[in-house]
Amino acid sequence: MKAKVAVVGYGVIGQRLADGVARQEDMELVGVVDVQPTLAIRALKDKGMPYDLYAAAQEFIPVLEEAGIPVSGTMADLLAQVDIVLDATAAGIGKKNKEIYQQYGVKAIFQGGEKNEIADIFFHGYANYNQGVGKDYLKLTSCNTTGLIRSVDCLDKTAGIEKIAITIMRRSADPGDTHRGFVDLAKVEPVPNHQAVDLMTIMPHIDATGLLVHFPMTHGHIINVLAKTKRKMTKEAVLQVFNDHPRIKVVKIADGFNSNTALFRYARNLGNPRGDMYEIAVFAETVAFSGDDLMYAINIPQEAVVIPETIDGIRAALKMHQNREEALAATNQYLRLE
């Protein structure tokens, strides 16, 4: 029997979670929840309601129906039908929703904007799958941390990582955001950034710190990683480890992959839905050494990067796979990540 899944909050992440779950042949996306006829909801309607929409509460039905959006019921109706909820609401709302999920006895996975306390486990498919198995409430790492841990975890499993220092160059808005953003500036945050702290929560054997700077751009974050490995690796070996990872794409600046937007343009031209990429990219020409320490720069496609690890979370929470490798392989297969 397929795992029955609901997505609550149909925004930038919620839409992509819904699409990602819909591609899993061993899961069923029963419905999505939202409160307003946003552009995302209008697009859902305009493409023929591939997913059933439920209103977060009775009071939201009129405004949705007024906009011509078919509503299948309330969130309560949906919760009664599912095994697990992917909560992609704005930060802080997940906490309130959790009480409802508990009431209906459904498990839930929250996104990185919520506080760690909301969940039984702060989760990353590759780094700590086993700790998520059978848990009721998982919290996913945020987009930067998710992508960062992918790259650190595979190196760690190969050569052992003692410490990392990262420089995160952050996009300040998503494409289309008209409620936030920056013009012509680099905004510097105090050290350490939360991503370093989060990484240490999940990978406590690694000492991590880092700087975060915001920039006026929308198409992905860039992280420069400086890592001290226990065993010295060659550049070729590092690239091989990244190449072998189904969720990491090694690209060459010389081939034209010279920016976060080159990757976005490539993904659009590839025909990927929304021009999204699930994979982080490593810029091959940035893999280098500072003394014995390894340096490499990665691109984090902030809109879609957390989808695979969230789906891993479903597999863990619902005990669909006891085994990490099996779980990851299933997610990757259905998302065609090779």
Give the residue numbers marked as catalytic: 143
| Token pair in block for residue 291 | 């003394």
Q: Tell me whether residue 99 or residue 184 sits nearer to a copy of itself (CB atom).
A: 184
| Token pair in block for residue 247 | 């969720």
Q: Tell me whether residue 80 or residue 188 sits nearer to a copy of itself (CB atom).
A: 188
Q: Could you give the 3-state DSSP secondary structure of residue 76?
A: helix
- Could you give phi then psi for residue 300, rounded to 5 degrees? -110, 110
CA atoms of 49 and 118, how far apart (whole Å): 32
Q: Tell me whether residue 95 or residue 181 sits nearer to a copy of itself (CB atom).
A: 181
Q: Is 222 in the site for a copy of itself (CB under 8 A)?
A: yes
- Which of 72, 131, 158, 286 lies at the binding interface for a copy of itself (CB under 8 A)? 286
Q: Could you give the 3-state DSSP secondary structure of residue 280?
A: strand
Check the CA dihedral 319-26-24-9 and report its sign: negative
- By CB under 8 A, the count of residues binding a copy of itself is 81
Q: Could you say which residues in the range 29-48 bind a copy of itself, by CB under 8 A? A: 37-40, 42-44, 46-47
Q: Is 26 in the site for a copy of itself (CB under 8 A)?
A: no
Q: Is 162 in the site for a copy of itself (CB under 8 A)?
A: yes
Q: Tell me whether residue 123 or residue 257 sits nearer to a copy of itself (CB atom).
A: 257
| Token pair in block for residue 249 | 């794409």
Inter-CA distances, 183 with 63, 65, 241, Å: 35, 38, 38
Q: Could you give the 3-state DSSP secondary structure of residue 271?
A: coil
Site track for a copy of itself across 6-25, x = CB under 8 A: ---------x----------
Among the listed ranges 21-29, 93-101, 133-141, 157-165, the one in contact with a copy of itself (CB under 8 A) is: 157-165
- Which of 283, 310, 332, 335 lies at the binding interface for a copy of itself (CB under 8 A)? 283
Among the listed ranges 23-31, 115-123, 292-300, 310-318, the one in contact with a copy of itself (CB under 8 A) is: 292-300
Q: Could you say which residues in the range 181-200 bind a copy of itself, by CB under 8 A? A: 181-192
Q: Tell me whether residue 113 or residue 181 sits nearer to a copy of itself (CB atom).
A: 181
- Which of 273, 319, 323, 326 lies at the binding interface for a copy of itself (CB under 8 A)? 273
CB of 143 to a copy of itself, least distance (A): 15
Q: Is 63 in the site for a copy of itself (CB under 8 A)?
A: no
CB of 333 to a copy of itself, least distance (A): 19
| Token pair in block for residue 173 | 């808005």
Of 43, 5, 104, the C-alpha closest to 334 is 5
β partners of residue 137 = 108
- The torsion defined by the Cα of 253, 257, 260 and 265, in degrees rounded to 10, comes to 170
Q: Is 151 in the site for a copy of itself (CB under 8 A)?
A: no
Polymer length in residues for the chain: 338
- Which of 96, 99, 231, 269 lies at the binding interface for a copy of itself (CB under 8 A)? 269
Q: Tell me whether residue 262 or residue 307 sits nearer to a copy of itself (CB atom).
A: 262
Residues whose CB falls within 8 Å of the CB of residue 277, separated by 6 or more in sequence, listed in order? 249, 263, 264, 267, 301, 304, 305
Among the listed ranges 24-32, 76-84, 127-135, 219-227, the one in contact with a copy of itself (CB under 8 A) is: 219-227
Of 267, 285, 284, the C-alpha closest to 276 is 267
- Which of 51, 54, 123, 257 lies at the binding interface for a copy of itself (CB under 8 A)? 257
Q: Are 280 and 147 in contact (CB under 8 A)?
A: yes
Q: Tell me whether residue 114 or residue 156 sits nearer to a copy of itself (CB atom).
A: 156
User: What secondary structure does DSSP assign to 177-232, as a single string?
Assistant: --S---SS--EE-PSSPHHHHHHHHHSTTSEEEEEEEEES--S-EEEEEEEEESS-
- Which of 61, 226, 239, 337 lies at the binding interface for a copy of itself (CB under 8 A)? 226
